[in-house]
Structure 1
Amino acid sequence: MNEKRGLEAAAAGDGRPEAKRSRPPALASVIVEALKVDSLQRLCSSLEPILRRVVSEEVERALGKLGPAAITGRSSPKRIEGPGGRNLQLQFRTRLSLPLFTGGKVEGEQGAAIHVVLLDTGNGCVVSSGLESSSKLDIVVLEGDFNNEDEEGWTEEEFDSHIVKEREGKRPIITGDIQVTLKEGVGTIGEFTFTDNSSWIRSRKFRLGLKIASGFCEGVRIREAKTEAFMVKDHRGELYKKHYPPALKDEVWRLEKIGKDGSFHKRLNKSGILTVEDFLRLVVRDPQKLRTILGSGMSNKMWDSLVEHAKTCVLSGKYYIYYSDENRTAGAIFNDLYAFCGLISGEQFYSSESLDDGQKILLMGW
């Protein structure tokens, strides 16, 4: 009877050795390499916050050297005269990560920091010197239908008249770091969150805006900045969010096309498929059975999207060895989804890619 034991490896991917080596490595070498990967992964995790800060600082420096055409490709907005005839404008340089939920951190796409700049629209360059380049800015919330035309200018009074105030009895709409100070014309917004959703205003959407804070650049007209319009949903909606990527232990409805408590979700649960890991294991072992469980309501297109999303899941790095006899002279290695990865014979490892069809057929007969 086959024996099973777990072989731990912490590789973030599938951890498979390279195919068709001239001399397969000893099992001990495979384990040493896996431990090296584990140490490297832990090192990367500890360095991540430091690297994010360094990248943020480098982006700020780079933005200070580049004009809008080099980064956004947008045409210049209507000019507004500043000191010396310059046309100064604030601008967001990072798109927001959507959707937004109350209580959730506001950040850029893919978790990036949100960068802002002060531009001289006459030459397309960041204003990196002078009093204006070190101004303090206020972050405000605007009505979503404010100035839908990007090329259309506005006055300071028009901008201020579209700032959204909190509802009676409610907290300020945004809380946290709601000011940012420019350094050589470039700034990075800190952490802040929305406390209220956008469903109660006419457009049902907000925009973020930037304006010069009181006491800075008085008498100088600097055009305010605004983002695209977006919805802010109540945080309860976040409970139903899909995960990108999903985790092995996530409930299966976190996958695309599987609605929480919907028919597909109920069918899967009834068949014992409760987690993303359960789903992926059946994809590996018997995808046709899985399709039968889901039923005819799952179209080919939906199935492809579902499986594609599920396969973005990061595996745990755990492996299993199944020996053919009690002497443990040979064993088959499978990952945590029970996908075949290779063969150990004696002290040598053979990756699945290095085995010919005959060897694989023989293996299936174990």
Structure 2
Amino acid sequence: MLQPRAWKLRFVNSPPPMIFTFSRIEAEDGSPIAIELLDAATNARVTSDLQLEIVALNADIAEESFTTEEFNRNILRPREGKPPLLAGDLTVTLEDGVGVVSGDVTFTENSSWTRCKLGAKVRQQGGVVEAISRAFLCRDRPGGECEYTT
């Protein structure tokens, strides 16, 4: 029988409903996107220092009740011959259980073939539930035709 994972990651805030390519990914109020580590049973913050990886996810993945395998299957990979979908420092270091996505993380392209969410996972394999943001549109700047849709 599988043991429940004791800790989980959570986005404290999420990107706005629409972002533009090559624009900094930040929260609706302009603050950095923050992620925290919680005890899965109590939702109390766990004061641990971990390194996380930020990824782009297919928006069809549920924000609750997913497995690590589902999370990994839904990571968006770049299209053939294209650069990585996300650029910048995709590592977040938690200090005392909280960390922020650096200001240089951007989407390098958008696509009409999928919707998008941000995901966060522990870089080292471990028993920590990954985090998933809410879905958003990503449009070319300025005024591109292709977009992620919700």
Q: TM-score range by the shorter chain?
A: 0.7 to 0.9
CA contact (8 A) 1:140 1:210 kept: yes
- Counting only pairs closer than 5 Å after superposition, residues 257-268 of structure 1 correspond to structure 2 as none
CA contact (8 A) 1:139 1:178 kept: yes
Letter in structure 2 aligned against 1:210? A
Bigger helix fraction: 1
Report the equivalent of 2:4. Answer: 81
- Which residue of the other structure, out of 140, 145, 170, is the alignment partner of 2:60? 145
Report the equivalent of 1:64. Answer: none
Letter in structure 1 aligned against 2:13? T
Residue 124 of structure 1 and its aligned partner are, at CA, apart by 1.6
Two-structure CA RMSD over aligned residues (Å):
1.6
Residue 178 of structure 1 and its aligned partner are, at CA, apart by 0.8
Residue 155 of structure 1 and its aligned partner are, at CA, apart by 1.6
| Distance of 1:95 and 1:183 partners within structure 2 | 19
CA contact (8 A) 2:54 2:118 kept: yes
Residue 98 of structure 1 and its aligned partner are, at CA, apart by 3.6
CA contact (8 A) 2:57 2:117 kept: yes
- Which residue of the other structure, out of 157, 181, 188, is the alignment partner of 2:93? 181
1:162 and 2:81 equivalent?
no
CA contact (8 A) 1:140 1:208 kept: yes
SS in 2 for 1:109: coil
| Distance of 2:138 and 2:26 partners within structure 1 | 13
Letter in structure 2 aligned against 1:207? K
Residue 114 of structure 1 and its aligned partner are, at CA, apart by 1.1
CA contact (8 A) 2:8 2:38 kept: yes
TM-score (norm 2): 0.87
Question: Which sections of structure 2, spanning at least 5 residues, go unmatched?
Answer: 145-150
TM-score (norm 1): 0.37
SS in 2 for 1:235: coil
- Counting only pairs closer than 5 Å after superposition, residues 188-337 of structure 1 correspond to structure 2 as 188-191=100-103, 192-201=105-114, 205-213=115-123, 216=124, 218=125, 220-237=126-143
SS in 1 for 2:69: helix
Residue 107 of structure 1 and its aligned partner are, at CA, apart by 0.6
Letter in structure 1 aligned against 2:75? I
Using CA pairs under 8 Å that are at least 6 residues apart, name the structure with larger relative contact order, 1 or 2. 2
Residue 237 of structure 1 and its aligned partner are, at CA, apart by 1.5
Following TM superposition, where does structure 1 have runs of at least 4 consecutive aligned residues deviating by more than 4 angstroms?
none
Residue 230 of structure 1 and its aligned partner are, at CA, apart by 1.1
| Distance of 2:134 and 2:51 partners within structure 1 | 22
Post-superposition Cα deviations, 1:186-217, rounded to whole Å, max 9, x if no partner, equal 1011021001113123xxx101000111xx3x
SS in 2 for 1:125: coil
1:97 and 2:16 equivalent?
yes
Letter in structure 2 aligned against 1:81? P
Letter in structure 2 aligned against 1:229? A
Bigger strand fraction: 2
Letter in structure 2 aligned against 1:155? T
| Distance of 2:8 and 2:111 partners within structure 1 | 27
Question: Which sections of structure 1, spanning at least 5 residues, go unmatched?
Answer: 1-79, 239-366
SS in 2 for 1:159: helix
CA contact (8 A) 1:117 1:126 kept: yes
Give identity over the alignment, percent.
38
Residue 100 of structure 1 and its aligned partner are, at CA, apart by 0.6
CA contact (8 A) 1:198 1:206 kept: no
Q: How many residues align structurally? A: 141
Residue 95 of structure 1 and its aligned partner are, at CA, apart by 2.5
Larger CA Rg, structure 1 vs 2: 1
SS in 2 for 1:134: coil
